[in-house]
Structure 1
């Protein structure tokens, strides 16, 4: 069980949702899981919120330390496949948060 989670939230245009989910599930997550210090990833789509402007998609990565998402391993894996060139440029409303287990 990892001591930290890395929460990544974002939106994608409706016409790109199918491709976004395909690439995220079949390429991006499998590559990121190969980075040292990453132990799992769960993805979610927003169903309801009381906060205006909340991003529709969320990924929760289980990580060893707050430094993992800035590591060379993470950066190298995140550039692989279609994510960096075909999907990332179309994402909006992105946020990145790290939480420590208490």
Structure 2
């Protein structure tokens, strides 16, 4: 699946188990607010899972990631995150008042998509 933007923001966190259902309900709303910010092209949410992988002839168990919830925001430029529109979207809806205080282990990272990945993605999209 090709990226649609030259940068991605990876936002990861955990939530208290007793708030997990509400977290997932409200995060969908929160992601929609952030997706409406100019310069945000796409938001993808995911929850990590344990798995097993064969490495060097051995089947190695891998635990759940830490933190377990992640969202990938495809953005035009890191400056999008400094905008008033981003700040307003972060506070819109129920996220700030009902969920943010129940999250922990929050991590945010920016990655620039390598030119070869974007070239491959464009080629792949055209080819198929």
TM-score of the two chains, using structure 1 as the length reference: 0.92
- Partner residue in 1 for 2:13: 10
Report deviation, 1:91: 0.6
Q: Deviations over 1:27-58 (max 9, x none)?
A: 10111111110011001111138589710100
- Using CA pairs under 8 Å that are at least 6 residues apart, name the structure with larger relative contact order, 1 or 2: 1
- Partner residue in 2 for 1:69: 81
Greater Rg by CA: 2
**How big is the alpha-carbon RMSD for the aligned residues of Structure 1 and Structure 2?**
1.7
Deviating beyond 2 angstroms after TM superposition, the runs of 4 or more aligned structure 1 residues are 48-53
Report deviation, 1:70: 2.1
> How many residue pairs align between the two structures?
101
Q: Is the 8 A contact 2:49 2:64 kept in 1?
A: no
TM-score of the two chains, using structure 2 as the length reference: 0.74
Q: Distance in 2 between matches of 1:87 and 1:19?
A: 8
* Structure with the largest fraction of helix: 2
